[in-house]
Amino acid sequence: MVKLSVIVPFYNVQQYAPDTLKSLRANTREDFEFILVDDCSTDGTPDILARAERELPGAVVVGHEQNGGLATARNTGIDKARGEYLTFLDGDDWLAPGYFPQLLSAIEELGCDFVRTDHVQSTGRARSVHRVPHGRRRTVLNPREAILPADRSTSVDYAYAWAGIYHRRLVDRGILHFTDGLRTAEDRPWIWKLHRESESFAVVGLLGVYYRRGVASSLTQIGDVRQLDFIRAFDQVIQETARDPEADKLLPKAVRTYCAIMAHHLGQIERFEPAVARKLRSMSAAALKRMPQDVLAEVMDSMDAQRAARLRRVRRRSMGARTVAV
């Protein structure tokens, strides 16, 4: 019986993959499996993974014939996983020795659907601790109650799939899979669904995941059209939350988060290629029109002046202009 399945997508990370795999070797156990998904890498990553399959206990390499993105690669791993519990790691991040056994022990002790953890962000040589924005620790709670309040950072804003561990029953209930093809913000619809539809969760203060920030090949550092997938991701959050029995209660949080992310991208629009910048403006205007207008009005009135002004400018400029289809 496999106790824990660890799903690790890799794409053109030959510089970092050896450190990632070394940290996995420091987290092996006879009942752990490591599903290493090569998302059609074109550098030396496949050779590194081939060696890992021979040398890392419990390693299984799965290859994609074409690049599908992080969400699709994670889904490949989920479909392959045999473990009672599942967790994730990205191919350019790493772990502290013995972290996974501690994480597994925590969820077995608590007996909940999923557990969320803190992490360490690594930017160059700098290290900083980032904590789940939820105060109560090692207490089993209703995930829906951790979505609100709307005007504060909450657990749904901490959208890191690798910062936690998940019981297989979430796979069986159709909750754990990601939206295929999303290139950015793939964790956003996923974390909202996790909190809306799961029955129990807890937060623990383990520090064992090291998140490598600022990698040049990361989509968060590239200003091309793939960045605009955040609109498709948040459209999904709004649509699914609008169907929830408590939509009136939850939608203000979803709309507020969407608007904040949109304003952030508009505030950094100079990093996009000109054609992508134009598309960002037009797609943002169309997205604002799709949102529930009464909720949007309240959210924009409550936002800080600078961010609200960015969104209002986009809305005004779009009047009478052709709406670009998403």
pTM (two decimals): 0.93
CB 163 within 8 A of CB 119: yes
Q: What is the pLDDT of residue 316?
A: 85
pLDDT score for 215: 64
Fold of the 4-213 domain: Spore Coat Polysaccharide Biosynthesis Protein SpsA; Chain A (3.90.550)
Instruction: Print pLDDT tens along the chain (326 aa).
Output: 999 999 999 999 999 999 999 999 999 999 999 999 999 999 999 999 999 999 999 999 999 999 999 999 999 999 999 999 999 999 999 999 999 999 999 999 999 999 999 999 999 889 999 999 998 999 999 999 999 999 999 999 999 999 999 999 999 999 999 999 998 999 999 999 999 999 999 999 999 999 998 765 554 445 678 899 999 999 999 999 999 999 999 999 999 999 999 999 999 999 999 999 999 999 999 999 999 999 999 999 999 999 999 999 998 876 545 444 44
Integer Cα distance of 137 and 203 in angstroms: 5
Q: What is the pLDDT of residue 217?
A: 52
**Residue 234 CB burial class (10 angstroms; 0-12, 13-18, ≥19):** buried
CB 23 within 8 A of CB 94: yes
What are the residue boundaries of the structural domains of the chain, listed by start? 4-213, 225-320
Beta bridge partners of 121: 128, 211
Structure tokens at 216: 């040049």
